[in-house]
Homo-oligomer: A and B are copies of this chain.
Amino acid sequence: MKAKTALARKTPSGGLPKRKPASRNGRGGVRRGDTTRLSILDAAERCFGEAGFDGVSLRTITEVAGVDLALANYHFGTKDNLLREVIARRARIVHDERIRALEEARRAAGARSPSVEAIVTAFLEPLLRRLINGEQGWQPYANLVSQLDISPKFTGLTGDVLDPTALHFINALRLALPKVPPRAIYWGYMFLLGSMVQVMSATGRIERLSHGLCKSEDIQSALRELVPFVSGGLKALGAAPR
Shortest beta-carbon distance from A44 to chain B in Å: 12
Residue in B closest to A236 when the chains form the complex, CB atoms: B232
Q: Once the chains bind, are B153 and A51 in contact (CB under 8 Å)? A: yes
Q: Once the chains bind, are A226 and B51 in contact (CB under 8 Å)? A: no
User: Is residue A205 within 8 Å, beta carbon to beta carbon, of the partner chain?
Assistant: yes
User: Is residue A67 within 8 Å, beta carbon to beta carbon, of the partner chain?
Assistant: no
Partner of A197, one of B4, B150, B182, B183: B150
Q: Once the chains bind, are A237 and B229 in contact (CB under 8 Å)? A: yes
Segment of A75-83, A94-102, A106-114, A188-196 in the binding face:
A188-196
Q: Which residues on B sit within 8 Å (CB–CB) of A55?
A: 4, 53-54, 153
User: Is residue A172 within 8 Å, beta carbon to beta carbon, of the partner chain?
Assistant: no
User: Is residue A2 within 8 Å, beta carbon to beta carbon, of the partner chain?
Assistant: yes
Q: Once the chains bind, are B225 and A213 in contact (CB under 8 Å)? A: no
User: Is residue A231 within 8 Å, beta carbon to beta carbon, of the partner chain?
Assistant: yes
Partner of A240, one of B193, B202, B206, B224: B224
Q: Which residues on B sit within 8 Å (CB–CB) of A158?
A: 205
User: Is residue A47 within 8 Å, beta carbon to beta carbon, of the partner chain?
Assistant: yes
User: Is residue A201 within 8 Å, beta carbon to beta carbon, of the partner chain?
Assistant: yes
Mask, A206-242, CB within 8 Å of B = 1, is: 1011100110000001101110111111111101110
A147–B197 alpha-carbon span in the complex (Å)? 12
Q: Once the chains bind, are B236 and A52 in contact (CB under 8 Å)? A: no
Q: Once the chains bind, are A206 and B225 in contact (CB under 8 Å)? A: no
Q: Once the chains bind, are A236 and B228 in contact (CB under 8 Å)? A: yes
A–B Cβ pairs within 8 angstroms, 11 of them: A3-B51, A49-B152, A50-B152, A155-B204, A155-B208, A163-B209, A170-B209, A183-B213, A187-B225, A229-B233, A232-B235
Shortest 10 CB-CB contacts between residues of A and residues of B? A232-B236, A233-B233, A194-B198, A194-B194, A54-B54, A229-B233, A191-B195, A187-B225, A54-B55, A186-B210
